Amino acid sequence: MSTKVLHVLYNDDDVLMDAVKTTRAAHHHIEEVYTPFPVHGLDKAMGLKPTRLAICAFIYGLCGLSFATYMMNYIMIQDWPQDIGGKPSFSYIQNMPSFVPIMFELTVFFAAHLMVITFFLRSRLWPFKKAENPDVRTTDDHFLMEVALHGSEEEALEFFRNTGAVEVKVIDKH
Q: Burial letters for 37-64: b for 16+ Cβ neighbours within 10 Å, e otherwise?
A: eebeebeebbeeeeeeeeebbeebbeeb
Q: How far apart are CA 146 and CA 41, in angstroms?
A: 18
pLDDT at 150: 85
Query: How do residues 118-144 score in pLDDT, each as one tens digit?
Result: 999 988 888 888 888 888 899 899 999
Which is more confidently placed, 153 or 19? 19
Q: pTM for the complete prediction?
A: 0.72
pLDDT grade for 1, boundaries at 50, 70 and 90: very low
**Residue count (the chain):** 174
Collapsing DSSP to helix, strand or coil, 10 comes out as: strand
Q: How many CB atoms lie within 10 A of CB 33?
A: 22
Q: How far apart are CA 42 and CA 116, in angstroms?
A: 23
Domain ranges of the chain: 3-36+141-173, 53-122
| Upper half-sphere CA count for residue 126 (Cβ side, 13 Å) | 3
Q: Is the pLDDT of residue 71 over 90?
A: yes
Q: Is the pLDDT of residue 170 over 80?
A: yes
Alpha helices (H) in 4-152, listed in sequence order: 13-25, 42-46, 53-72, 92-122
Q: What is the CATH number of domain 3-36+141-173?
A: 3.30.70.260
